Amino acid sequence: MSIVDQASAATGWFAVRRGPSTVGLFDALPNKAGRQAICPAASRRRRRRRRPPCSQSRHRSGTSTCPPRGFPDSGGRCLMDHIRRNHDMADIKGVKIAILVTDGFEQVELTEPRKALDEAGADTAIVSPKDRQVRGWKFTEWGDSLPVDVPLDQARPDQFDALLLPGGVINPDALRTDKKAVAFTKAFFEAGKPVASICHGPWTLIEADAVRGRRLTSWPSLRTDLGNAGADWVDEESVVDGNLVTSRKPDDIPAFNRALITLLAESRGGVRPA
C-alpha cells in the first residue's frame, strides 16, 4: 500500500492506494466508528475480506477438529477444512487405524480423535477384548456403549496402519494385564507404525516395553511409572517422538489430534523411524 495524498493535520484524513484503481479514504483517528463514517466503502471491503466461519456448523474453535487461535490459516476455519486445502500436510485418506480399548476408556479420548480422523479420511475401527460392545467412562460416571468393530481375538496388526490408545484409568489398567492386548500394541512398534496414546494410555506402552529412551507425556500420575520404565517424561500438551504421539489429558485433545494427523500424513509415504 502507498500513501497517495494527505490533507491538513486539522482534518487528519489520508488516502491509501489499495490497487491500480482503488483508493481508500481514511482518518488518522484511532476510533473505529470514525473510520467507518469517513470511508464506509473501505469498511465494507474489510468485512468482505473476513474469512468465512468453519464449514462444519457443529465445530467450534478449540474443539478437537477446530484449531485454536494461532494455528496456521485457522481464522475460524476448522482443522478439517485446513487439511482439505493442504493435502501435502495431511493426506490420510484410507489410512486404517485400530483403536484399542476395553470397558472404562475415557469416552472423549476415543470419540473426539476418532471424529477428527474419520473426517480427515481415515478408516477407524474399535478393537477390544470385548466381543460386541465396549463401555466408556465420562469423567466421573459410566458413559455410552460403543460397538466393537473387530474383536481382539480376530485382529491382526498387519491389518492396520496405526494404533490409537485412549486413556481413562480402568481401560489401560485392564489392557496392560491382557497378554493379547500387549502383544497387539508391541507389534506396531516393532513394525515402526504410528502409535498415539493419551492420558493413562501409556500404561499399556510400558507393558509393551515401548517407552525406554523415548520422550513422551501422559497424565501426571504416570510420571514415576514412565520414568522407572526408562522414558523421558515432559509436561507438554503433545509430544512426538519418532512414530509415537502422546498427550496428557482431555484438554489436550486438539493438539493431540493435530499431531496425530500430521504424523500419519508424514508416515504415509513410508515407515517413519521409530
H-type helices in 176-243, by residue range? 179-190, 202-207, 223-228
Return the SS3 of 231. Answer: coil
- β-pair type (23-27, 244-247): unpaired
Intra-chain end-to-end CA distance of the chain, in Å: 49
- For residue 134, the cross-strand partners are 146
* DSSP at 273: P
Q: Are strands 238-241 and 244-247 parallel, antiparallel or unpaired?
A: antiparallel
C-alpha cell at 46: 474489510
Return the H-helix or E-strand segment holding 108: helix 107-119
Which residues does residue 151 pair with via DSSP β-bridges, in sequence order? 128
Based on the residue annotation, tell me whether 78 is a catalytic residue of this protein: no
Residue type, 120: A
Strand-pairing partners, residue 263, are: none
Neighbours of 80 (CB within 10 A): 22
Question: Is residue 54 flagged as an active site residue?
Answer: no
Determine which one of 39, 59, 82, 200 is catalytic: 200
Chain centroid, CA 255 distance in Å: 5
Catalytic entry in 39, 54, 66, 199:
199
Contact between 110 and 260 (Cβ < 8 Å): no
- Backbone phi and psi for residue 227, each to the nearest 5 degrees, phi listed first: -65, -40
Q: State the catalytic residues.
A: 199-200
